[in-house]
Amino acid sequence: MSVVSTSPTEPAVLQPAPVKRLLSLDTLRGFDMFWIMGGEDIFGVLAKTTGWAWAILIADQFKHPEWNGFRAYDLIFPLFVFMAGVSTPFSIGSKLDKGDDKAQIARKIITRGLILVLLGIIYNNGLFVKAIQDTRFPSVLGRIGLAGMFAQLIYLYAQPRTRYIWFLGILLGYWAAMMLIPVPGCGAGVLTMECNLASYIDRILVPGHLYKTIHDPEGLFSTIPAIDNALLGIFAGSFLKAHGKTGNQKAIQLVAAGAVFILLGVLWNFIFPINKNLWTSSFVMVTGGLSLSLLGLFYWIIDVKGIKGWTFFFTIIGMNSILIYLAGEFIEFEYATHFFFGGLIKLISSGWVAAVLGVLGYLAVKWVFLYFLYKKKTFLRV
């Protein structure tokens, strides 16, 4: 891991980094990260302070379901995994085109994947060493690292047709395992938090403690299907990189493919429920379909139609997405928000305007921090 000063258009292998030919990808990454860094709180405070029905409806979409089901907030994580895949044909593909040694590329892929696992452990537990039983090892960054790592190794060593076989094999194999392999004391095909196969395997294999004691939403076994989100991103990136189709055709086909994936995922939901906690195969299909459609839409608007004036705000976030994710645990952005905006918020006194201003001030402080790093050409490279 390193914080380096480099060109903002230089692609990286695993850290989802800007790809020179796809401004849409960096914009979409920043759009995705915007909600994680506090954007969702805009609707939360509006719902709480006003009781407006539309605000409550939107705010509810920024909460995860208790177990089965899907809300917009569930897309943020798999979309990030998907985008790590999209950049692969441009970054690793360019290295292969130049004839770089595959073994050396593989070592870098594995190193970066494991560094993200380590960063995830630090994010969960802080910088100070804890007793192993008090340490949570699974993490969001860990899943991004492992899913991206295995997907990129498949891209590196497998032929295009074999990559599709891997995709289908993981999708169907996980479904078969979850439904057919019995869990002691529960039987086969039980998908409750207590009895599902993924949680059972995690309780046996994962050291330390799980997030929900008996289950971890970023557990080891349920990371396997997340590889398909990254592979789907690789397929999309390869499609966009290829010649022979116009930008309009590529955008339409991405959106159309996304619609097909969503439909198949919804149908699969009847026998294998859409569940983010278990990262079920139907969840992969729905989130993969939405990711394809969003990429197609952003690609059409930005790279095909050339409507780029609005992208700068999001690309500043997207260029340092992992850094701002980590920074929230170590930098007191709330203090800076109070310092710069506290007086104005007190002047307004109370109500929804003050509440929204507080959220916007918090977001502004984070964005200015990222803008400062951008001007210094400083980006976290993993």
Average pLDDT, the chain: 89
- Return the HEC string of 30-62: HHHHHHHHHHCHHHHHHHHHHCCHHHHHHHHCC
How crowded is residue 98: how many other Cβ atoms within 10 Å of its Cβ?
7
pLDDT given for residue 177 in this prediction? 97
Return the minimum-mean-pLDDT range out of 92-106, 136-150, 161-175, 339-353.
Answer: 339-353
In the predicted model, what is the mean pLDDT of residues 328-333? Answer: 80
Residue 223's identity, in one-letter code, is: T
pLDDT given for residue 15 in this prediction? 39
* 293 vs 99, higher pLDDT: 293
pLDDT surpasses 80 at 345: no
Could you read off the pLDDT of 143-161 as tens digits, one per residue? 999 999 999 999 999 999 9
Could you read off the pLDDT of 367-377 as tens digits, one per residue? 999 999 988 88
pTM of the model: 0.90
CA gap 119, 130 in Å, rounded: 15
pLDDT band at 94 (very low <50, low <70, confident <90, very high): confident
Of all residues in the chain, the percent with pLDDT exceeding 70 is: 92
Nearest 10 degrees: Cα torsion 278, 150, 90, 77: 20
Helix axes 88-97, 102-125, angle to 10 degrees: 150
CA gap 136, 291 in Å, rounded: 29
CA gap 112, 159 in Å, rounded: 23
In the predicted model, what is the mean pLDDT of residues 69-98? Answer: 93
List the beta bridge partners of residue 19.
22
pLDDT given for residue 21 in this prediction? 59
In the predicted model, what is the mean pLDDT of residues 211-222? Answer: 94
Place of tokens 């492992």: 146
pLDDT surpasses 80 at 343: no
pLDDT given for residue 349 in this prediction? 62
Residue 194's identity, in one-letter code, is: E
